[in-house]
């Protein structure tokens, strides 16, 4: 398909569904059906089988015409993690059923991976899924589940074979969060608000048609999700001075009375680092444009977390007296993650999560050392041991 | 004064091209055959016999001396992108050749818009590999205020590339403004000095009033030309540093996969794995920053970006890559431990080059001043 064909497709969509008069959801659905949602996805699944790089011009044309967006910030887990995993491991029926409402935002997704006893050691999780008729019955507890209070669906990893070594006894499911057995309780966090939750799964019934990948292959599927997650967190395209550096730089420009030599040195050095990170992200996306995300995405996530934390801390120092104040400790349950929103104190506290969520920076260093550099794996005491015999 | 560098430039292509990879392979094979670390280490004992044949192979046989020389002067008219590939390889081998000083910095200066006809003659000789030139400023000089000689001549300390040079490009404060004069090395006094990095040995240069007066002006009205050449030099120095960093990471990872202590491969100790992971992340970023600087020097960053984009990219890459190259070389020594402290092991070549490169063509602090200006982050005292 040539650039002109693609442009014509966009124009046809706009002609047939004038954004000024078309209902928002109708427009998004029509855009999906026209293959203009994510053009690198296959035809019939919101795409046209083109290169990832072809999405930019499409988005620009649509934005120019005043077309409504699908609020990607409200469905980060769906778009960043569930969608690529379903595309890669799903059956045709699963792709048809789940991808469209995911993209339009009609169905918001969350990620039921972490458990109180299994965070970094995700493969050690204890939530059980037991076969029952043409489906499964799931029991267990998940924790730190971002956005579970808004989600209709979840990606879920559960243990289906406690007798197998931990990585081999897992299976991956698509879980309906509106099932009566799903109970979501807010977990208030360091910032005061409740962005994440505890999720209790009590006899939750999942039909076998919502199993993603083979029984016992859950780790393989989950690993692909995690690679996508790291790229989604660290690898997003961002303009110059996006994110935390933009916040601090603007404060510096607008408030000359706060400027000190020490902060200036740190700020300029961080500006350099942020710009280098931006350019590295450009290069990473150019590399990834062809293939699946691999462990390289971990590098960008590490960089992103480090920068966000350094800069948000610096911003509080720069603000001096104002840095001592905090806007609001009220517990709210936000419908999106807002890394750079609210005031500087919030940013400082929220950024602490950047090196924990989606894999801690320590785990990411292990991933890079082992999977990119080929250094020996960690010393393991749980290898080849049936999961149920591992001391907990 | 800065134009619009805060606007996001269009993405330049930062991935290797096939031509670039072919060039890399050619440079690499010459280096493998003719740039043995043992011979390079001998430079520190005053034995520079590796230099001339290696430079001949690179400059003449591969034609690298004329890489950036415009075609009308007998060169290849290639871009900074190609030079960046060459410098990555030269950096990885810590090759003792005057490519950066002569084929990048001097060539860049001689190809500037205010160059005179006399410059064309020098460029042709450079492209043919018949002559080598260098800019006569202290090697620590960054893009900005360039130290000038008066018409009565004088001395310049710590000049890089002068030991190898046939032609000295001397910036002079003349009555009509700044100009660059091409002084033949025979008319000047060049004294090699023991240098922290003997693979890019420095020299003290003395030029008399008579020698200056007799030398042709190669660049008139030279302030902008000098800044641009030094900006290009700093941008491409970053690629040399990216090459050093790659060598450090690859060599250290390989060593730690072999070396055993406590009954284990030491690369399996998590404390070391994490340090290497951090180095890998820094290396990826350094490569991206250096490639961006070279690509921006070559092509600009699209129609919206002004000339400041190239200055910004150069200063960002220079500051970042300097820092990382020193870190990578220091980690290489620490993680190799005893063996790296020996004269035979090439780790010290990388360390000495990396630390010297950090100071060369403007310190990180000088580059930060440029960034602060362009990014509109004025210091506390500047209103
Ligand atoms: C804001 C936020 C949102 C989140 N959202 C979600 C979500 O939506 N869904 C979800 O499933 N999870 C979510 N998480 C959970 C997150 O994935 C886990 O917190 C994370 O994987 C770490 O697990 P843990 O908290 O149990 O820490 P632990 O694994 O107990 O780690 C404790 C410390 O030990 C270190 N450590 C552990 N293992 C190693 C090792 N092998 N080598 C070196 N150091 C090690 C860790 O780095 C850490 O410093 C979220 C977390 C946060 C903070």
What residues in A contact B270, CB-CB < 8 Å?
366, 378
User: A125 vs A140, A162, A209, A210, A331, CA distance in Å?
Assistant: 9, 10, 23, 20, 29
pLDDT at B2 over 50: no
Residue A160 main-chain phi, psi, to 5 deg = -110, -10
In angstroms, the Cα distances linking B41 to B47, B65, B242, B332, B344 are 9, 24, 21, 17, 8
Q: Which of A115, A193, A195, A229 is catalytic?
A: A229
Got the DSSP string for A329-386? ------SS--SS-S-HHHHHHHHGGGGTTTS-HHHHHHHIIIIIS-PPPPP-SSTTSB
Q: Is A107 a catalytic residue?
A: no
pLDDT at A78 over 50: yes
Q: Name which of A275, A287, A302 is nearest B15 (Cβ-Cβ).
A: A287
A117 CA distance to ligand 1 centroid (A)?
10
Mean pLDDT, all residues of chain A:
94
What is the tens place of the pLDDT at every residue in B264-317?
Answer: 999 999 999 999 999 999 999 999 999 999 999 987 655 555 679 999 999 999
Q: B interface mutation test: which of A369, A374, A379, A380 has the most B CBs within 10 A?
A: A369
Cα distances (angstroms) measured from residue A87 to each of A92, A286, A289: 9, 21, 16
Q: Say whether residue B157 is in contact with chain A using an 8 A CB cutoff.
A: no
3-state secondary structure of A205: strand
pLDDT recorded at residue B302: 54
Lowest mean pLDDT among A327-331, B296-300, B352-356, B364-368: B296-300
Cα(A115) to centroid(ligand 1), Å? 10
In 3-state terms, what secondary structure has residue B205? Answer: strand
Query: A278-292, B13-27, B320-334: which has the minimum mean pLDDT?
Result: A278-292
Separation of CA A223 and ligand 1 centre (Å): 15
Contact A254, B372 (CB under 8 A): no
Picking from A231-240, A249-258, B126-135, B208-217, which range would have the lowest pLDDT averaged per residue? Answer: A231-240
Q: Residue B342: how many CB atoms within 10 A of its CB?
A: 10
Q: Please give the pLDDT value at position B301.
A: 52
Q: Does residue A180 surpass a pLDDT of 80?
A: yes
* B316·A272 Cβ contact <8 A: yes
Which of A249, A279, A369 lies at the smallest CB-CB distance from B288? A279
Under 8 Å between Cβ of A219 and A286: no
Give the closest-approach CA distance of B7 to chain A in angstroms. 7
Q: How confident is the model at residue A339, as a pLDDT?
A: 80
Q: CB contact, 8 Å: B273 with chain A? A: yes
Q: What is the predicted pLDDT for the residue at A242? A: 92
CA distance A129 to A179: 15
- What is the pLDDT at residue A289? 75
Q: Describe the crossing of helices A297-319 and A244-254 by its angle, rounded to 10 degrees.
A: 30
Q: What are phi and psi of B2, to 5 degrees?
A: -85, 145
Q: Which residues of B93-119 are buried (b: 16+ CB within 10 A; e: fewer)?
A: bbbbbbbbbbbbbbbbbbbbebbbebb
A212 has which bridge partners?
A172
Query: How much is the mean pLDDT over chain B?
Result: 95
Task: Tell me the shortest Cα–Cα distance from A324 to chain B, in angstroms.
Answer: 22
Residues A352-386 as b or e (16 or more Cβ within 10 Å = b)? bbbbebbbebebbbbbbbbbbbebbeeeeebeeee
Count of alpha carbons within 13 Å of B171, Cβ hemisphere only?
A: 26
By C-alpha distance, the chain B residue nearest A273 is B320
B257–A286 C-beta distance less than 8 A? no
Residue B1's pLDDT is 44
Mean pLDDT throughout B117-129?
97
> What mean pLDDT do residues B195-221 have?
98
In angstroms, what CA-CA distances link B168 with A361, B135, B137, B183, B294? 51, 6, 10, 5, 26
Residue B10 and residue A239: Cα distance in Å, rounded? 10
pLDDT on residue B31? 98
Atom of ligand 1 nearest to the CA of A142: 11
Residue A192 · residue A200 · CB < 8 Å: no
Contact at CB, B379 and A253, closer than 8 angstroms:
no
- What is the model's pLDDT at position B3? 58
- CA torsion sign, A238 to A240 to A245 to A247? negative
Q: What is the pTM of this model?
A: 0.94
The predicted-structure confidence for A83-137, as pLDDT tens digits, reads as follows 999 999 999 999 999 999 999 999 999 999 999 999 999 999 999 999 999 999 9
Confidence grade of residue A296 (pLDDT, cut at 50, 70, 90): confident
SS3 assignment, position A298? helix
Structure tokens at B265: 């491969």
Which chain A residues are within 8 Å of B287, Cβ to Cβ? 283
Contact state of B291 with A283 under an 8 Å Cβ cutoff = yes
Tokens of A55: 């999405």
């Amino acid at each position: 398909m040539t650039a002109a064909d693609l442009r014509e497709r966009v124009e046809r969509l706009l002609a047939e569904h004038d954004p000024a008069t078309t209902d928002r959801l109708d427009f998004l659905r029509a855009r999906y059906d026209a293959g203009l949602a994510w053009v690198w996805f296959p035809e019939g699944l919101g795409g046209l089988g083109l290169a990832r790089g072809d999405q930019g011009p499409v988005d620009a044309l649509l934005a120019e015409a005043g077309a409504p967006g699908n609020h990607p910030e409200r469905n980060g887990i769906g778009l960043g993690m569930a969608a690529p995993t379903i595309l890669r491991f799903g059956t045709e029926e699963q792709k048809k059923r789940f991808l469209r409402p995911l993209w339009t935002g009609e169905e918001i997704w969350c990620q039921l991976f972490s458990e109180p006893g299994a965070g970094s050691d995700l493969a050690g999780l204890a939530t059980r899924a037991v076969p029952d008729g043409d489906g499964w019955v799931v029991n267990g507890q998940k924790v730190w589940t971002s956005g579970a209070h808004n989600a209709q669906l979840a990606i879920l990893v559960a243990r289906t074979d406690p007798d197998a070594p931990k990585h081999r006894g897992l299976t991956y499911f698509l879980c309906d969060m509106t099932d009566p057995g799903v109970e979501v309780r807010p977990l208030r966090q360091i910032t005061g608000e409740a962005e994440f939750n505890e999720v209790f799964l009590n006899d939750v019934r999942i039909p076998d048609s919502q199993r993603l990948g083979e029984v016992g292959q859950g780790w393989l599927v989950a690993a692909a999700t995690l690679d996508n997650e790291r790229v989604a967190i660290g690898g997003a395209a961002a303009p110059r001075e996006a994110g935390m550096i933009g916040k601090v730089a603007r404060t510096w420009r607008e408030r000359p009375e706060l400027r000190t030599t020490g902060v200036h040195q740190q700020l300029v050095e961080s500006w350099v680092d942020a710009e280098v990170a931006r350019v590295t992200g450009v290069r990473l996306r150019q590399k990834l444009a062809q293939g699946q995300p691999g462990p390289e995405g971990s590098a960008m996530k590490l960089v992103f977390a480090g920068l966000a934390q350094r800069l948000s801390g610096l911003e509080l120092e720069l603000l001096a007296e104002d840095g001592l104040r905090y806007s609001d400790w009220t517990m709210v349950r936000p419908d999106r993650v807002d890394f750079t929103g609210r005031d500087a104190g919030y940013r400082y506290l929220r950024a602490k999560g950047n090196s924990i969520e989606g894999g801690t920076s320590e785990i990411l260093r292990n991933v890079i050392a082992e999977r990119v550099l080929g250094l020996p794996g960690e010393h393991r005491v749980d290898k080849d041991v049936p999961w149920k015999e591992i001391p907990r | 004064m800065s134009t619009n560098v805060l606007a996001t430039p269009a993405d330049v292509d930062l991935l290797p091209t096939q031509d670039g990879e072919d060039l890399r392979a050619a440079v690499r094979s010459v280096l493998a055959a003719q740039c043995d670390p043992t011979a390079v280490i001998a430079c520190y004992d005053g034995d520079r016999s590796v230099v001339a044949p290696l430079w001949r192979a690179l400059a003449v046989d591969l034609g690298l001396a004329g890489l950036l020389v415009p075609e009308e002067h007998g060169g290849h008219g290639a871009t900074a992108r190609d030079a960046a590939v060459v410098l990555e390889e030269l950096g990885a081998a810590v090759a003792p050749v005057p490519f950066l000083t002569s084929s990048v910095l001097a060539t860049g200066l001689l190809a500037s818009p205010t160059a005179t006809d006399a410059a064309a003659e020098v460029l042709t000789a450079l492209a043919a590999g018949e002559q080598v030139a260098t800019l006569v400023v202290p090697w620590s000089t960054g893009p900005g205020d360039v130290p000038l000689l008066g018409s009565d001549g004088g001395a310049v300390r710590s000049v890089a590339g002068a030991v190898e040079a046939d032609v000295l490009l001397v910036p002079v404060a003349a009555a009509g403004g700044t100009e660059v004069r091409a002084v033949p090395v025979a008319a000047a006094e060049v004294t090699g000095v023991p240098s922290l990095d003997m693979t890019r040995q420095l020299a003290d240069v003395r030029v008399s009033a008579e020698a200056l007066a007799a030398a042709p002006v190669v660049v008139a009205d030279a302030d902008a030309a000098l800044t641009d050449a030094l900006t290009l030099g700093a941008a491409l120095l970053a690629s040399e540093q990216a090459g050093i960093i790659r060598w450090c990471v690859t060599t250290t990872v390989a060593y730690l996969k072999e070396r055993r202590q406590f009954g284990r491969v030491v690369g399996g100790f998590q404390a070391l794995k994490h340090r290497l992971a951090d180095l890998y992340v820094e290396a990826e970023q350094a490569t991206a920053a250096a490639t961006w600087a070279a690509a921006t020097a070559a092509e600009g960053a699209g129609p919206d970006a002004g000339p400041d984009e190239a200055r910004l990219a150069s200063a960002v890459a220079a500051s970042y890559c300097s820092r990382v190259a020193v870190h990578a070389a220091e980690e290489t020594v620490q993680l190799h431990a005893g063996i790296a402290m020996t004269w035979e092991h090439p780790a010290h070549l990388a360390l000495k080059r990396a630390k010297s490169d950090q100071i060369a063509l403007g310190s990180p602090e000088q580059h930060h001043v440029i960034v602060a200006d362009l990014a509109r982050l004025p210091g506390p005292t500047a209103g």
